[in-house]
Chain A
């Protein structure tokens, strides 16, 4: 089966570590972190801005049960078309996320859900596999020890002046670690 090319992450070092040259555009991506505010969403911003700008793929960006209110001025400043943002408060978030993935209307679905049972994780992976969109699930670091059907799992940890991304699992790729540093309050640069 030919893998679809990835969505460039905007960080060359990270792209080199990912098999499709970017975030997988099919299948579930798990970002594992215990903190909000270490740059876990900034990491996705270049890819989201690219999806927004694409005339043909320009779908909606669904944010399912985010930890805080996504702040429109900041998103707009990073090239996101905020008119295409859909914020959903759902309990449980897994159901809403699956609906968003299956709707075929979104080009990216970001979900914050614990996914305690493997059943719901599998359903999300299946929906993400069929959906041709950037599907990102945020979970806790400790979930990294549990098995998961996700195609890409990255553990994120804040470091002074940057972010460390450890690739735990990557279908077609290999486990590795990338350090990204801040260039300003809002964007990273790869630190070598």
Chain B
């Protein structure tokens, strides 16, 4: 049977034969989430934070050809006669108390991603349909959730908890589901053969084809998907965009409709406008709390933690103040992040008031399991070390805290290393303990407990002095090493005692001059 639909086509030219094969695999069931009020919902949080007392009617404006135009409004504003597309001035004339918010594309995208991320709890196959749709392939999840009805109810509940009012439709093809959802027809059709009949009633607007095409259709008297399906294929292909034919085939499952999988963002980023601006660093902690809650919700949903967090404090007349927090181990608890943040906020000085807060997490990482030790009461709380390290680093700076390690080297200054110089606090986790401390040179003569950062030249020429004459022990230790890297040493080390009872580690250079240096103190 030629033609796009069973109805006879009043065509002068013979319609194209139906494309071979049906591409919609029986196995697929696509659920579409359409967010009719996404513009308003994306700004919901901002609206809340600015509203004092009773909620005034809200509208969102956007710039269009230099004029401010209403894009969306809430029910109160709509009841007063405000509609999308109206200029801001007309809207304010209708409703002087209207609260006006600026549209924020970034927030809209973030809202959609939040919805998609929640959708990942229902199925691994999720894709975005910008700007206001999310698609879920749910065939494989039906059994787990106990059927379409229950899955839908659970999803609906979840989305409402996110503060959005979705329209949900389910069919074997992604496009048909989207069209139904956009048209507000919250159906669940599981068989592909009922699609043409159901889609036929939909107004063409739900296809989101270009305004020009839709207008020319309207002049032809073509107003529904069904009208369009009755048109001859090749005429449609010739006179309109090729995309339309493809869309029709895809909606009916006659052409493949591959969808890019949604990959949840690898990091968390959020922002919050402050109204009024905050000038007191002490109050920033509270202002940041909702963002931290959001962050921790994000982390909890993924079961992952973060090791770094960047906070940007935006000012009107000064460059952004940036705070970087590093955690000694992956964290996901709001309390711990807040504690560290408080420590940092106590140290900053604001150049001028803060008008916006931005939060950006480092990459997400696995959180280490810490098994609570129930039975050994007296055991040290090793888990406390990373927290101690991060608290110290937050207040004192990254370089203020370090560990040490041994290096198998004969040159005294190279025989040890600072650990954690670059703030890699993960080094403080090592709970594994070797049976005995590892010693590169177990038989070497005693070393001083304190080493000077740089050898200190001693006065006195042949008979070196340090707080008076020194009494030297016999048997110097000769250290000659490092000729290969240009920092070679040729020294004779002595243990020397001062009159005050200090025991020093001094050496004489084995070069011309033979100067004496103090290198360590026995402590």
Contacts and interface: CB of A to CB of B under 8 A. Distances in A.
B523 A37 contact: yes
Interface in B484-503: 495, 497-503
A120 B379 CA distance: 28
A36 B406 contact: no
A5 to B, nearest CB: 13
A88 B380 contact: no
A60 interface: yes
Contacts of A69: 450-453
B450 A70 contact: yes
Among A77, A95, A159, A184, which residue has the most Cβ atoms of chain B within 10 A? A77
A160 B468 CA distance: 14
Interface stretch (B35-43, B248-256, B397-405): B397-405
Contact of A42 (B376, B383, B523): B523
B90 interface: no
B446 A74 contact: yes
B502 A68 contact: no
B382 interface: yes
A192 interface: no
A70 B503 contact: no
B376 A56 contact: yes
Contacts of B403: 82-83, 85-87
Interface in B313-360: none
Contacts of B380: 56-60, 104-107
Contacts of B383: 105
Among B437, B452, B497, which residue has the most Cβ atoms of chain A within 10 A? B437
Contact of A80 (B391, B437, B445, B448): B437
Contacts of A163: 501
A27 to B, nearest CB: 18
Contact of B502 (A36, A72, A104, A105): A36
Contacts of B382: 59-60, 105
B191 interface: no
A81 B437 contact: yes
Among B405, B440, B500, which residue has the most Cβ atoms of chain A within 10 A? B500
Given A42-B523, A76-B437, A76-B438, A87 B381 contact: no
A76 B381 CA distance: 23
B384 A68 contact: no
A107 B412 CA distance: 28
Contacts of B433: 58, 81, 83
A56 B379 contact: yes
A59 to B, nearest CB: 3
A168 interface: no
B388 A99 contact: yes
SS class, residues of chain A in contact with chain B: mixed
Interface string B429-472: 01001000111111011111111110000000000000000000
Contact of B404 (A70, A88, A158): A70
Given A83-B405, A100-B388, A38 B400 contact: no
Contacts of A80: 437
B401 A87 contact: yes
Interface in B417-431: 417, 428, 430
B389 A104 contact: no
A92 to B, nearest CB: 10
Interface string B237-280: 00000000000000000000000000000000000000000000
Given A37-B522, A42-B522, A163-B501, A71 B379 contact: no
B404 A87 contact: yes
Nearest to A40: B523
Given A56-B376, A86-B385, A186-B522, A38 B503 contact: yes
A68 B404 contact: no
B88 to A, nearest CB: 55
Nearest to B441: A73
B484 to A, nearest CB: 21
B232 interface: no
B416 interface: yes
A2 B25 CA distance: 78
10 contacts: A38-B501, A41-B449, A41-B450, A60-B385, A71-B520, A73-B412, A75-B404, A83-B403, A104-B380, A160-B499
Given A104-B384, A159-B501, A186-B446, 4 more contacts: A38-B501, A72-B417, A103-B388, A158-B501
Interface of B: 376, 378-385, 387-389, 391-392, 395-396, 399-406, 412, 415-417, 428, 430, 433, 437-442, 444-453, 473, 495, 497-504, 520-523
The 4 closest A-B pairs by CB, nearest first: A158-B501, A105-B384, A59-B380, A37-B521
